[in-house]
Amino acid sequence: MGLIDVKNLTFDYIIRDENDQIESSVRALDDINLEVNAGDFIAVLGRNGSGKSTFAKMLNAILLPTFGDVLVIGMNTKDESRMLDIRKNVGMVFQNPDNQIVANVVEEDIAFGPENLGVPSDEMRRRVDEVSSTVGMKEYLLKSPNNLSGGQKQRVAIAGVLAMKPKCIVLDEPTAMLDPIGRRDIIETVSKLNREEGITIIMITHYMEEAAAAKRVVVIDKNKVRADGTPREVFADYKTLRECGLDVPQVTELAGLLKNAGLPLRDGIITIEELISELKTRKS
């Protein structure tokens, strides 16, 4: 059993008319099976409307499956009595940094989750100090979130989730509204959490370069899982990615083109550094 088990997950968005009668329904997720192991760093890729955000919301009981089950450390998300336990263990960071910060002072926002869980004040103080230095926001604790940059706000949001001591963090396109610097910041923070704290990361994204930082890539398209494997394995299969409306990272594409042009490069190059070292070995 993994940390999170997704079994035959199917979800329909149901549109009701004024009399609460079902008018129509749209299938958003179709028979998804996935096992997330503790310590994983998974990037979930998919184009707009592929169902990837819906998938993220299934993991901590914000949405419940129409058919199938989602089990978080053995707890079914349909079991309402375990809801807080599930949400405490699977934290969630959303796309818009402004719309997920609740309090007017950074430290109070970080404490919002633990406050809801009834953590005692002195323990809460310790946690706030600890997680704020983990994400590098310690000197901003007394500032108003309105004066922070997008990347900083997103780091506050991550700290707010960390303060609940989760086993897993789900990030739903956390960098979509950030500038390149903020984007790099967040990816570095998230990678560090995975590496040093052993927190399982599930990151929804449509940036290939971000997916390359993950240990495992899952591609969702037309409501189904289309590919699942290491970034190398997944990116090697251009054709499937193209069909799913995704591009491979630029450097992978370049390596592929060079190879087609007759340069004997190996498969599965996903970072610029790799291509450079590969080219150097060819040269010598």
Position 91 contacts other proteins (CB under 8 A) = yes
Q: What is the 3-state secondary structure (H, E, C) of the chain?
A: CCCEEEEEEEEEEEEECCCCCEEEEEEEEEEEEEEECCCCEEEEECCCCCCHHHHHHHCCCCCCCCEEEEEECCEECCCHHHHHHHHHHEEEECCCCHHHCCCCCHHHHHCHHHHHHCCCHHHHHHHHHHHHHHCCCHHHCCCCHHHCCHHHHHHHHHHHHHCCCCCEEEEECCCCCCCHHHHHHHHHHHHHHHHHCCCEEEEEECCHHHHCCCCEEEEEECCEEEEEECHHHHHHCHHHHHHCCCCCCHHHHHHHHHHHCCCCCCCCCCCHHHHHHHHHHHHC
Nearer to other proteins, 111 or 214 (CB): 111
User: Stretches 8-16, 144-152, 189-197, 272-280: which one binds other proteins (CB under 8 A)?
Assistant: 144-152
Q: Smallest gap, in angstroms, from Cβ of residue 173 to other proteins?
A: 12
Nearer to other proteins, 182 or 249 (CB): 182
Which tokens go with 73? 């450390």
* Binder among 29, 72, 101, 212 for other proteins (CB under 8 A): 101
Nearer to other proteins, 93 or 217 (CB): 93
Position 158 contacts other proteins (CB under 8 A) = no
Residue type at 61 in one-letter notation:
A
Position 176 contacts other proteins (CB under 8 A) = no
Q: Smallest gap, in angstroms, from Cβ of residue 111 to other proteins?
A: 4
Count of residues engaged in binding other proteins, rule: CB under 8 A: 40
Q: Smallest gap, in angstroms, from Cβ of residue 234 to other proteins?
A: 28
| CB distance 15 to 23 below 8 Å | yes
Nearer to other proteins, 24 or 121 (CB): 121
Q: Smallest gap, in angstroms, from Cβ of residue 135 to other proteins?
A: 16
What are the distances in angstroms from CA 47 to CA 58, 155, 245?
18, 25, 6
* Binder among 25, 116, 133, 250 for other proteins (CB under 8 A): 116
Site string for other proteins, 1-40 (x = CB under 8 A): ----------------------------------------
Position 165 contacts other proteins (CB under 8 A) = no
User: Stretches 29-37, 140-148, 220-228, 246-254: which one binds other proteins (CB under 8 A)?
Assistant: 140-148
Residues that bind other proteins (CB under 8 A): 57, 60, 62, 84, 87-88, 91-92, 94, 96, 98-105, 107-108, 111-121, 124-125, 128, 145-147, 160-161, 164
